[in-house]
Amino acid sequence: MAASTTRVDLDGNAIKPITICMIGAGGFIGSHLCEKLMSETSHTVFALDVYNDKIKHLLEPDSLPWAGRIQFHRINIKNDSRLEGLIKCSDLTLNLAAICTPADYNTRPLDTIYSNFIDALPVVKYCSENNKRLIHFSTCEVYGKTIGSYFPKDSPLRQDPAYYILKEDTSPCIFGSVEKQRWSYACAKQLMERLIYAESVENGLEFTIVRPFNWIGPRMDFIPGIDGPSEGVPRVLACFSNNLLRREPLKLVDGGESQRTFVYIKDAIEAVLLMIDNPGRANGHIFNVGNPNNEVTVRQLAEMMTQVYSKVSGEDSIKTPTIDVSSKEFYGEGYDDSDKRIPDMTIINKQLGWNPKTSLWELLESTLRYQHKTYAEAIKQTIAKACSS
């Protein structure tokens, strides 16, 4: 649908079609956002990325109902003079571009810092100088570790939400020491948030900052050896999917004790669309976007994914479904972890009335069904080829 009926914002006003410069549109979140914008709105998108595999289905063929409303520009924002022009021609810039896989934070800290801070600087500058609105993607990782994690293991204070719920306007950002290079990403993202905030206070930049809390779903990252490097280490959903597809044990880093809340990508995209369509309510805010009801330890996630994958693939699970690995073995020197991430939802509820809907079981079912359909055959062929050579 190209929004044949008039869409209205949260205050009942008709939403005017705008042009969005989406940087990093070819990634996981970008691909879902482009899909949503093409199918449910009349907005136009300049989709900037170095890759477009995940949005090819939206670009071709020319007969698609939204043809003309999405234009792909193969641009590396590190060094492309077309960036400023595209920002100038748009009403809103949305920046998703980043290195954002933890395996890179401690092994490629320079690339991580450049990507998440230095490379994003011109984007902020062009938006500020040209009076263009910016929605910038930061991360829940800016909170780092919880205050509670510093209490003794048996302290009842660890159970007190005051010491673990993460609030945009009051929680501190607690990172490990500099040698723990895991925090290079969080630190670069945090400095970028501070720069954007300062641009708004000193120069009037209209901004919204998004802090995603483990958004997951189809098209997230890559399956090593199939659509990404064999030795690559994606985020946990793709790591565990890869293990399940190959009938290997799922690897639990440092016992899989860390806790995460996972939100379905389609729920989270609804929140981003509300931000796009309601500037008066979204500007000047930092928003946690997550699902506080979907909390599990990484070990529980592994167990759940094993059960769900059996259901959707029709295959029994293997005898030893999980094994423990140390973080040093898995990620190398300098890894560290966030212990627990529960988003406070007060601000996003109040400003945008948004709430996530999908349970962890449901979102894993639809995601693993997609993973099985997309990759199972290719993996079988790779394994058969390796056995015959």
Minimum distance, C-beta of residue 307 to ligand NAD, in the bound complex (Å): 23
3 state DSSP class of 386: helix
Which listed range, 159-167, 186-194, 249-257, 350-358, lies at the site for ligand UDP (CB under 6 A)?
249-257
**57 neighbors 31 (Cβ within 8 angstroms):** no
Applying CB under 6 A, does 258 fall inside the site for ligand UDP? Answer: yes
Question: Closest Cα partner for 287 from 138, 122, 185, 98?
Answer: 138
236 binds, among ligand NAD, ligand UDP, none (CB under 5 to 8 A by kind): ligand UDP
298 binds, among ligand NAD, ligand UDP, none (CB under 5 to 8 A by kind): ligand UDP
> Between 320 and 388, whose beta carbon lies closer to ligand UDP?
320
> Between 212 and 256, whose beta carbon lies closer to ligand NAD?
212
List phi, psi (to 5°) of 243: -60, -45
100 binds, among ligand UDP, ligand NAD, none (CB under 5 to 8 A by kind): ligand NAD
Give buried/exposed letters for 240-263 (b at 16+ CB in 10 A, else e). Answer: bbbbbbeeebbbbbbebebbbbbb
Minimum distance, C-beta of residue 4 to ligand NAD, in the bound complex (Å): 29
Residue with token string 């100088």: 129
Applying CB under 6 A, does 246 fall inside the site for ligand UDP? Answer: no
Give residues in contact with ligand NAD (CB under 6 A): 24, 26-30, 49-51, 75-78, 96-98, 100, 115, 119, 137, 139-140, 212, 214-215
From the number of C-beta atoms within 10 Å of its C-beta (0-12, 13-18, 19+), residue 47 rates as buried
Applying CB under 6 A, does 239 fall inside the site for ligand UDP? Answer: yes
> Between 124 and 236, whose beta carbon lies closer to ligand UDP?
236
Which listed range, 35-43, 162-170, 232-240, 276-284, lies at the site for ligand UDP (CB under 6 A)?
232-240
> Between 51 and 150, whose beta carbon lies closer to ligand NAD?
51
Annotation marks residue 185 as catalytic: yes
Active-site annotation holder among 126, 185, 309, 331: 185
Q: Which residue is nearest to ligand NAD (CB)?
A: 27
Applying CB under 6 A, does 298 fall inside the site for ligand UDP? Answer: yes
From the number of C-beta atoms within 10 Å of its C-beta (0-12, 13-18, 19+), residue 381 rates as exposed
Applying CB under 6 A, does 253 fall inside the site for ligand UDP? Answer: yes
The CA-atom distances, in angstroms, between 286 and each of 30, 101, 189 are 19, 22, 13
Question: Closest Cα partner for 160 from 150, 174, 172?
Answer: 150
Q: Find the binder of ligand UDP among 133, 251, 266, 340 (CB under 6 A).
A: 251
> Between 136 and 251, whose beta carbon lies closer to ligand NAD?
136
343/355 Cα distance (integer angstroms): 12
Question: Closest Cα partner for 37 from 116, 141, 135, 138?
Answer: 135
Minimum distance, C-beta of residue 287 to ligand NAD, in the bound complex (Å): 12
Question: Closest Cα partner for 297 from 235, 248, 255?
Answer: 255
37/18 Cα distance (integer angstroms): 11
Segment holding 93, helix H or strand E: strand 92-95
Applying CB under 6 A, does 102 fall inside the site for ligand UDP? Answer: yes
Indicate which residues carry an active-site annotation: 185
Residues at the contact surface with ligand UDP, assessed by CB under 6 A = 102, 141, 214, 235-236, 239, 251-253, 256, 258, 260, 298, 337
